[in-house]
A and B are shown apart, each in its own frame.
Chain A
Amino acid sequence: MKNRSRHRALGCLFAVVLALVAHSRAASAPKEKSDVLLSTMHDEMQRAQSSLGKLDPAPYFLSYSVYDQRTAMVMGSQGELINSLQTRHRSADVTMRIGTAALDNSHSQNRASARTSGSLPLDDDRNAIARELWRLTYEEYRKASKAYLNVKTKTQVNAQEEDTSPDFSEEKPTNHADYKDVAVNPDQRRLEKLARQYSGYLRKYPYIYSSVVVINAQNTRFHFLSTEGGEVVAPNAYIRVAIEAETRATDGMELMRVETFQAESIDHLPAEAEVGARVEKMASDLKALREAPVAEPFDGPALLSGRASAVFFHEVLGHRLEGHRQRGEQEGQTFTKKVGQAVLPDFLSVIDDPTQRKLNGLDLGGWYEFDDEGMPAMRVDVIKNGILKNFLMSRLPIKNFANSNGHGRAQPGLMATGRQGNLIVSSTKTVKDSELRQKLIDEVKKESKPYGLYFEDIQGGFTLTQRSAPQAFQVLPVLVWRVYPDDRPDELVRGIDIVGTPLAAMNRIQLTGDKTDVFNGICGAESGQVPVAAAAPAMLFSEIEVQKRAHSLNRPPILPSPVDEGASSGKNAGAQQ
Chain B
Amino acid sequence: MNTIIRLMANFQRSLLPLIAVSLLSALGFAQQKNGDGKDDMILSAMHAELERSRSQLKMEQVAAPYYIEYRVFDLDQYSAEAAFGAIRGDARIRFRFLRVVVRIGDYKQDSYSGQGEGTLDFLPVDDDVLAFRHQLWLATDRAYKAAAESLTAKQSQLKQLNIDQPVDDFAHADPVQSVGSLVKLEFDAEPWKKMLQDASAIYKSDPEIETSESRLSFQAVNRYLVNSEGTIVRSGENLYEMNIAATTQAADGMSLTRDTGYSVGSIKELPTAADFSARATKLAETLKGLRDAPVADEEYRGPVLFSAHAATTIFSTLVGDNILGHKPELGKNARTTGGFAASYKSRVLPDFISVVSDPTISSYKGESLLGHYEIDDEGVPAQRVSVIEKGILENYLIGREPIRDFPASNGHARAQIPAGNPMPHNSNLIVSTSQPVSKEELKKKFLDLCQQRDLQYCYSVETFGPNLLPRLIYKVWTKDGHEELVRGAAFGDLDTRALRTDLIAAGDESHVDNHMQKIPHSIVAPAVLFDELEVKRANQNKEKLPEYPAPALEK
Q: Could you list which residues of chain A lie within 8 angstroms of chain B, going by C-beta atoms?
A: 1-2, 43-44, 47-48, 51-52, 55, 71, 73, 75-90, 119-123, 125-132, 134-135, 138, 141-142, 188-189, 192, 196, 203, 209-210, 212, 214, 216, 244, 246, 554-555, 557-559, 561-563, 565, 567-572, 574-577
Contact = CB atoms under 8 A, between A and B. Distances in A.
Q: 7 tightest CB-CB pairs across the interface, nearest first?
A: A121-B86, A575-B28, A80-B124, A51-B548, A575-B127, A128-B86, A128-B84
26 contacts: A47-B551, A52-B548, A76-B124, A78-B130, A80-B124, A80-B125, A80-B131, A83-B94, A84-B125, A85-B15, A85-B91, A128-B84, A142-B544, A192-B22, A210-B3, A214-B7, A555-B145, A557-B138, A557-B141, A559-B137, A561-B134, A562-B130, A562-B137, A569-B130, A572-B41, A577-B25
Given A84-B22, A127-B554, A557-B137, 8 more contacts: A75-B8, A80-B131, A121-B82, A123-B87, A189-B24, A210-B3, A558-B58, A572-B127
Contacts of B95: 82-83
A122 B89 contact: yes
A134 B57 contact: no
Interface string B120-157: 00111111111101111110110011000000000000
Interface stretch (B203-211, B234-242, B362-370): B203-211
B57 A87 contact: no
Contacts of A47: 548, 551
B131 to A, nearest CB: 4
A149 to B, nearest CB: 14
A127 B41 CA distance: 51
Given A80-B131, A557-B138, A87 B19 contact: yes
A368 B69 CA distance: 51
Interface residues of B, number: 73
B397 to A, nearest CB: 34
B553 A127 contact: yes
B130 A567 contact: yes
Contacts of A125: 84-86
Interface stretch (B48-56, B258-266, B276-284, B378-386): B48-56
Contacts of A123: 86-87
A55 B547 CA distance: 9
A3 to B, nearest CB: 13
B52 A562 contact: yes
A567 B129 contact: yes
A281 B29 CA distance: 36
Contacts of B204: 127
A134 B124 contact: no
B84 A80 contact: no
Nearest to A76: B124
> Main SS of chain B's interface residues?
mixed
Contact of A78 (B11, B131, B210): B131
Contacts of B9: none
B539 to A, nearest CB: 21
A77 B4 CA distance: 9
Contact of B3 (A1, A44, A127, A132): A1
A559 B53 contact: yes
Given A563-B130, A571-B129, A576 B20 contact: no
Given A85-B91, A575-B127, A563 B134 contact: yes
Contacts of B138: 209-210, 557
Contacts of A83: 8, 21, 94-95, 122, 125
B83 interface: yes
Contact of A559 (B56, B129, B543): B56
A80 B91 CA distance: 22
Interface in B70-126: 82-89, 91, 93-95, 122-126
A188 B547 contact: no
Q: Which of A43, A75, A120, A562 is most buried by chain B, counting CB atoms within 10 A of its CB?
A: A562
Contacts, number: 213
B18 interface: yes
Q: Which of A73, A120, A203 is most buried by chain B, counting CB atoms within 10 A of its CB?
A: A73
B546 interface: yes
Contacts of A188: 22
> Main SS of chain A's interface residues?
mixed
Given A79-B131, A87-B20, A127 B84 contact: yes
Given A559-B137, A568-B129, A89 B551 contact: no
A128 B85 contact: yes
B161 interface: no
B548 A48 contact: yes
A84 B129 contact: no
Interface in B1-36: 1-4, 6-8, 11, 15, 18-22, 24-25, 27-29
A75 B7 contact: yes
A240 to B, nearest CB: 12
B21 A84 contact: yes
A138 B129 contact: no
B57 A558 contact: yes
Contacts of B129: 567-568, 570-572
Interface of B: 1-4, 6-8, 11, 15, 18-22, 24-25, 27-29, 41, 48-49, 52-53, 56-59, 82-89, 91, 93-95, 122-131, 133-138, 140-141, 144-145, 203-204, 210-211, 543-544, 546-548, 550-551, 553-554
A52 B4 CA distance: 47
Nearest to A552: B145
Contacts of B87: 121-123
Contacts of A142: 543-544
Q: Which of B86, B145, B550 is most buried by chain A, counting CB atoms within 10 A of its CB?
A: B86
A568 B20 CA distance: 34
Nearest to B95: A83
A448 to B, nearest CB: 43
A479 to B, nearest CB: 19
Nearest to A74: B22
B124 to A, nearest CB: 3
A557 B127 CA distance: 24
A476 to B, nearest CB: 15
A71 B204 CA distance: 32
A43 B553 CA distance: 13
B11 A561 contact: no
A78 B134 contact: yes
A212 B140 CA distance: 19
A188 B25 CA distance: 13
Given A75-B4, A131-B550, A576-B25, A567 B11 contact: no
A261 to B, nearest CB: 16
A85 B11 contact: yes
B357 to A, nearest CB: 36
A121 B138 CA distance: 43
Nearest to B149: A554
Contacts of B1: 77, 210, 212
A89 B52 CA distance: 46
B11 A132 contact: no
Given A123-B86, A563-B130, A138 B547 contact: yes
A119 B553 contact: no
B28 A87 contact: no
B127 A119 contact: no
Q: Which of B127, B134, B204 is most buried by chain A, counting CB atoms within 10 A of its CB?
A: B134
A271 B130 CA distance: 28
Nearest to B126: A80
A131 B551 contact: yes
Contacts of B123: 82
A268 to B, nearest CB: 23
Given A83-B122, A138-B546, A572 B28 contact: yes
Contacts of B48: 562, 567
A87 B41 contact: no
B127 A571 contact: yes
Contacts of A571: 127-129
Q: Which of B56, B84, B87, B94 is most buried by chain A, counting CB atoms within 10 A of its CB?
A: B84
A367 B101 CA distance: 47
A212 B551 contact: no
A81 B57 contact: no
